[in-house]
Structure 1
Amino acid sequence: MGLTEYRALLIDCDEVLVDRDSGVWAALQPLLENRLEAPDKGQILAEYKDVIRSLYPRYAELGFSGMLCFAHRQMAERLEIKSSWEEGMSFARSVPGWTLFEDVPGAMLYLRKFYHLRVYADRDVEDRGVLCERLGLLPEHLLSLADNPLDGGDWLAELDIDPADTLLLSRPPAQALGEGGLCLIRRGAAEHRKTCPADFCINSMADLVRQHQLSLRC
């Protein structure tokens, strides 16, 4: 299927719309300042992703902020740095300040003219309204990972859309939504040298808009 044939986009929020890595890196600086040697950004972020991945089975128990608080504590232990629970909570509450990639507002405005948009994200209830406002979404258009949006479910039934007509926008690695398509947003330069394992591999949300415009002309 071509880009113009899909009816709905299910968009992964972090690292597609929200610059999570920059937000995490900035929020970790108070902890990293206590380290004797200069931190390597790539290594620190890789450690963080490993930690947060190990905590996901406890998502329902901890909530998003709780999970980030525990992640901060585990990062401190790995780096052999003392930290307090107050510092962990401060790290967790940095989430509302994570910025959008600069191409996102314009791309979302354009794409909603052609698709039903749904965004899925890990967020606490008190942060969801702010994120919806920044993305130009109605609250019901922001789906929680706890509700398994990748399995289809109510949102597809409400739109009367077949999973095959849905395109998942995510970051590598990711799997398609059932019979639907997969578009990987590969913002990292190193990812561009790899073979595309999806239906579409695109550099950014702005590039997605350009590719859609080209498809309309064909």
Structure 2
Amino acid sequence: MGLTDYRALLIDCDAVLVDRDSGVWAALQPLLDSRRGQPDKEQVLGEFAETVRGLYPRFAELGFSGLLCFAHRQLAERWGLKASWEEGMSFARSVAGWSLFEDAPGAMLYLRKFYRLLVQGDRDAEDRALLCERLGIAQDDFISLASQPLQDRQWLADNDLRAQDILQVTQPPAAAAQATAGLCLICRAGSRNPQPCAADYCINSMADLVAQHQASLRR
């Protein structure tokens, strides 16, 4: 399918629209200031991601803020540091200030003229409204990572969509998507997409997606 054939985009929130890594790195600075030596940013972010993955089975119990708070505490213990629960909650609440990538607002404004925009991510209810407003989407179009909309026949029927109508915009390595859905891999921060491209589209930014859509319209 060509880009203009899809009816909806299912876009990852973090690392595609929201600069999660910069937000986490900045929020960890008070803790990192207690460490000896100069911490390596990529290693720290890798340890954070590993810690979050380990806690994710408890997501229903903890919620997103609780998960981040526990991740902060576990990282402190891993690094041999002391951190209070207040510091952990301060880190968790930093999510409200995570910035959008520079090209995200303009890309979303353009793309919503042609597609229904669905954003998939994790946020507590108190943070969703503001984030959806910044992204220019309805709150009903923000979908939890715990759901599997491409495989949920009832959700697809309720939204008058088929899986093949949807292009999933995610970062590599992509989670297994339904075979009939399109897949676009977006690789930011100068990292490279897999070669050869392991998806229908491999791009470096949301601005690239806009440019490719405009080129498709001219064909």
TM-score over 0.5 for the pair:
yes
Q: Let me know the Cα RMSD of the aligned residues.
A: 1.3
Q: How far, CA to CA, are the matches of 1:94 and 1:212 in structure 2?
A: 34
1:7 aligns with: 7
Q: Which runs of 4+ in 1 moved over 2 A?
A: 146-156, 175-178, 192-195
Deviation for aligned residue 1:125: 0.6
Q: Deviations over 1:155-199 (max 9, x none)?
A: 422331110111000111113244101101111323246432111
Q: Residues 92-131 of structure 1 correspond to what in structure 2 (within 5 A)? A: 92-131=92-131
Kept after mapping to 1: 8 A contact 2:186/2:193: no
1:174-185 → structure 2 map (5 Å cutoff) = 174=174, 175-185=176-186
> Are 1:13 and 1:121, in contact at CA under 8 Å, matched by a contact in 2?
yes
In structure 1, how many angstroms separate the alpha carbons of the residues matched to 2:35 and 2:195? 35
Task: Report the 3-state secondary structure (helix = DSSP H, G, I; strand = E; otherwise coil) of the residue aligned with 1:117.
Answer: strand
- Counterpart position of 1:186: 187
Unaligned runs of 5+ in 2: none
- The whole-number CA distance in structure 1 between the counterparts of 2:195 and 2:182 is 19
Secondary structure at 1:37's aligned position in 2? coil
For normalisation by structure 2, the TM-score amounts to 0.95
Contact 1:59 1:67 in 2 (8 A): yes
Identity %, equivalent residues: 65
- CA shift for structure 1 position 80: 1.0
Cα deviation, residue 153, structure 1: 4.5
Which residue identity is paired with 1:81? Answer: L
- Judging changes above 3 Å, is the alpha-carbon distance between structure 1 residues 141 and 53 closer, same or farther for their aligned structure 2 residues? same
Is 1:216 aligned with 2:217?
A: yes
SS at match of 1:147: coil
Partner of 1:38: 38
Task: Count the aligned residue pairs.
Answer: 218
Preserved contact between residue 152 and residue 163 of structure 1 (Cα < 8 Å): no
Name the amino acid aligned to 1:75. L
- Whether 2:199 is the aligned partner of 1:198: answer yes
Asked if 2 retains the 8 angstrom alpha-carbon contact of 1:120 and 1:149, the reply is no
CA contact (8 A) 1:119 1:141 kept: yes
2:133 is paired with a residue whose SS is: helix
Match of 1:48 in 2: 48
Q: Which runs of 5+ in 1 are unaligned?
A: none
- SS in structure 2 of the partner of residue 191 of structure 1: coil
Assess if the C-alpha contact under 8 Å between 2:121 and 2:144 holds in 1.
Answer: yes
Match of 2:137 in 1: 137
Kindly provide the amino acid, as one letter, of the partner of residue 79 in structure 2.
L
- Alignment partner, residue 207 of structure 1: 208
AA of the residue aligned to 2:186: I
- For the residues of structure 2 that align with 1:142 and 1:153, how far apart are their CA atoms? 18
In the alignment, is the contact (CA less than 8 A) between 1:152 and 1:177 conserved in 2? Answer: no
- Alpha-carbon distance between aligned partners in 2 of 1:116 and 1:156, rounded to the nearest angstrom: 13
Structure 1 residues 87-132: Cα deviation after superposition (integer angstroms, max 9, x where no partner) = 1010000000000001011100110111111111100010000101
1:36 shift after superposition: 1.2
Equivalent pair of 2:72/2:91 in contact (CA under 8 Å) = yes
- TM-score, structure 1 length as denominator? 0.96
Residues in 2 aligned to 1:191 and 1:86: alpha-carbon distance in whole angstroms: 38
In the alignment, which residue of structure 1 is the partner of 2:17?
17
- Give the distance between the partners of 1:114 and 1:47, measured in 2 at CA: 39
Cα offset for 1:143?
1.1
* Structure 2 residue matching 1:198: 3-state secondary structure: coil
